[in-house]
Amino acid sequence: MPHDHHHHDDDHHDHDHSVLPSDPALRVKALETVLTQKGLIDPAALDAIIDTYQNRIGPQNGARVVARAWSDPAFRARLLADATEVVAEMGLYGRQGEHIVAVENTPDTHNIVVCTLCSCYPWPLLGIPPGWYKSDAYRARAVREPRAVLAEFGVTLAEGQAVRVWDSTAELRYLVIPMRPEGSEGMDEDALMALVTRDSMIGTGLARAPT
Amino acid sequence: MTRVHDMGGRWGDGAIPVNPDEPVFKEAWHARALAVTLAAGGLGQWTLDASRHARELLGTMDYTRFSYYEKWLAALADLLVARGIVTRAELAAGQGDGISPLAPRRLTADAVPAVLARGGPTDRASAATPRFAAGDRVITRRPARNIHVAGGHTRLPAYAAGVPGTILSCHGAHVFPDTNAHGLGEAPEPLYTIVFRATDLWGSAENPRDEVTADLWQSYLDPAP
């Protein structure tokens, strides 16, 4: 337990982190220095982690899954039945994406994903979550007033469409399969990928219409 | 009962801070904070559930005023001291005092791709038959709380406590965060996706057909009366 002190858990003035510098950039630097000097972290490993999430893993991964689901009915059926296995075959298994569930938007139901308790998000498919996804406002409001939240993203749902909000409270990570936009008939997978936005795979956006 | 992180359904947080041009890491130190946290987690001295709980244990005022990665950093510092890996004096000085006995466990750069690709799956083999099946009506525990540790970690949000719902799917047995966060073992339990009617959660809803789901462990649930 992190707080086996004589005082109560919530006596936050005495938390160990309070001895660190108040400027967050200096706080990171202090932690990194202490841990490096103690032989506990390798600065080159930090660079490798940052490179992974800055340059290698991002929404293009999820977009590839969606574009294929739009193009290939057998793939789509397998994805909806067992997304973890299907994305693993595509090399998209990894940390914070060990158990993937794909949910499909239809004219009847629009899906939207949130993590009210922290910031759970399908990292191998979408990368690091955007700031708004981790904000108090999104975490607090998405479950109670998803339509008001969607309106702030410029999304208005079709009449008759119900909303299903997925609160990621366990290690399941959700990928929304947006509806394939009209006018995209005949487009190949690469062209379709360009229509799939990050927000459309969280449910706070729709796929782009082809231009 | 609940802590400040458990904010689903809360009023008063204002507009969503949408920024379409936001880079992956808004500040260089954000990237560093993420990487230090992941690398320190790689030492294997705490579970993901314990690190979540360390963030939840931040005081209400700290949790509210800290930005996202500041929460990570504060929780990391607290965990490092609580586990005896780093001393409070070392943190205060910003200098490490000697090589740690855990140094051989250090995550090296060449191991990063494999470690990130391997992840940490939480499903576990279990011979136990799940108590519920898809379509069953259940009701969630109320109040939402950890029944093993007062004020401890739980993944039943307060807004979904004491609410009737329907089992949408069963995902087999998963590590139980309520014990695992506190060093009480993985104690795997069947994990279900429960679908709630928005009107049952909130009294009134934007649309009566709207629903919210949550992924909940079996011991949070009873058959609906």
Q: What is the ipTM of this complex?
A: 0.97
Q: Are residues A25 and A109 in the same domain?
A: no
Q: What is the pLDDT of residues A163-177, one digit of tens each?
A: 999 999 999 999 999
- Whole-angstrom Cα distance, residue B27 to residue B187? 39
Predicted local distance difference test score (pLDDT) of residue A88: 96
Predicted local distance difference test score (pLDDT) of residue B1: 59
**A22 included as an active-site residue:** no
Across the interface, whether the CB atoms of A19 and B88 are under 8 A apart is answered yes
Residue whose C-alpha is closest to residue B153's, from B183, B195, B194, B191? B183
Q: Are residues A176 and A113 in the same domain?
A: yes
Beta-bridge partner residues of B213: A166, B195
**A119 included as an active-site residue:** yes
* Beta strand B211-217 pairing with B123-124: unpaired
Across the interface, whether the CB atoms of B78 and A95 are under 8 A apart is answered no
Mean pLDDT of B19-43: 96
Q: Are residues A27 and A131 in the same domain?
A: no
What's the full length of chain B, in residues?
225
Q: What is the pLDDT of residues B65-87, one digit of tens each?
A: 999 999 999 999 999 999 999 99
Q: Are residues A24 and A64 in the same domain?
A: no
pLDDT surpassing 50 at residue B11: yes
pLDDT surpassing 80 at residue A11: no
Question: What CATH number corresponds to the domain at position A130?
Answer: 3.90.330.10
Q: Are residues A88 and A149 in the same domain?
A: yes
Residue type, B188: P
Q: Are residues A49 and A137 in the same domain?
A: no
Among A49, A136, A162, select the one facing B7 at the smallest CB separation. Answer: A136
Q: What percent of chain B is modeled with pLDDT above 70?
A: 100
Asked whether residue A5 is assigned to any structural domain, the reply reads no
Its domain, for residue A194, covers 58-202
**A118 included as an active-site residue:** yes
Q: Are residues A89 and A163 in the same domain?
A: yes
- All domains of chain B, ordered by start, with CATH? 28-118 (1.10.472.20), 124-223 (2.30.30.50)
Asked whether residue A178 is assigned to any structural domain, the reply reads yes
Compare B2 and A127 and report the one with higher pLDDT. Answer: A127
Q: Are residues A140 and A165 in the same domain?
A: yes
Predicted local distance difference test score (pLDDT) of residue B90: 97
Predicted local distance difference test score (pLDDT) of residue A129: 97
What's the full length of chain A, in residues?
211
Within 86-115 of A, beta carbons closer than 8 Å to B belong to 93-99, 101, 114
Domain count, chain A: 2
Q: Are residues A170 and A108 in the same domain?
A: yes
pLDDT surpassing 80 at residue A52: yes
User: Which of B213, B218, B219 to mutate to probe the A interface, most A CBs <10 Å?
Assistant: B213
- Whole-angstrom Cα distance, residue A180 to residue A67? 9
A135 contacts on B by Cβ (under 8 Å): 13, 16-17
pLDDT surpassing 60 at residue A6: no
Predicted local distance difference test score (pLDDT) of residue B179: 98
Across the interface, whether the CB atoms of A141 and B159 are under 8 A apart is answered no
Across the interface, whether the CB atoms of B206 and A163 are under 8 A apart is answered yes
Asked whether residue A13 is assigned to any structural domain, the reply reads no
Predicted local distance difference test score (pLDDT) of residue B85: 98
Across the interface, whether the CB atoms of A138 and B68 are under 8 A apart is answered no
pLDDT surpassing 90 at residue A51: yes
Specify whether the CB–CB gap between A74 and B141 falls below 8 A: no
Identify the band that residue B2 occupies on the pLDDT scale cut at 50, 70 and 90. Answer: confident
- Whole-angstrom Cα distance, residue B209 to residue A160? 9
Asked whether residue A71 is assigned to any structural domain, the reply reads yes
Q: Are residues A45 and A118 in the same domain?
A: no
A47 contacts on B by Cβ (under 8 Å): 35, 109
B155 contacts on A by Cβ (under 8 Å): 117, 169-170
Chain B residue with CA closest to A53: the answer is B24
Residue whose C-alpha is closest to residue B77's, from B58, B105, B102? B58
Chain B residue with CA closest to A157: the answer is B207
A33 touches chain B (CB under 8 A): yes
Residue whose C-alpha is closest to residue A52's, from A122, A124, A121, A132? A124
Asked whether residue A40 is assigned to any structural domain, the reply reads yes
> In the block, which residue shows the tokens 């904070």?
B33
Predicted local distance difference test score (pLDDT) of residue B128: 83
Across the interface, whether the CB atoms of B15 and A95 are under 8 A apart is answered no
Q: Are residues A51 and A62 in the same domain?
A: no
Looking at A34, A55, A76, which one is the last position of a domain?
Answer: A55
Predicted local distance difference test score (pLDDT) of residue A1: 42
A10 contacts on B by Cβ (under 8 Å): 59-60
The distance of A143 to chain B (nearest Cα, Å) reads 6
Identify the band that residue A13 occupies on the pLDDT scale cut at 50, 70 and 90. Answer: low
**A115 included as an active-site residue:** yes
User: Which of A106, A171, A174, A197 to mutate to probe the B interface, most B CBs <10 Å?
Assistant: A171
Chain B residue with CA closest to A51: the answer is B31
Among B31, B58, B98, select the one facing A12 at the smallest CB separation. Answer: B58
Asked whether residue A208 is assigned to any structural domain, the reply reads no
Chain A residue with CA closest to B111: the answer is A45
Mean pLDDT of B106-112: 97
Q: Are residues A166 and A154 in the same domain?
A: yes
Asked whether residue A207 is assigned to any structural domain, the reply reads no
Asked whether residue A108 is assigned to any structural domain, the reply reads yes
Q: What is the pLDDT of residues A77-124, one digit of tens each?
A: 999 999 999 999 999 999 999 999 999 999 999 999 999 999 999 999
Mean pLDDT of A59-82: 98
Q: Which two tokens stand for residue A153?
A: 């993203």
- Total Cβ atoms within 10 A of residue B224: 12
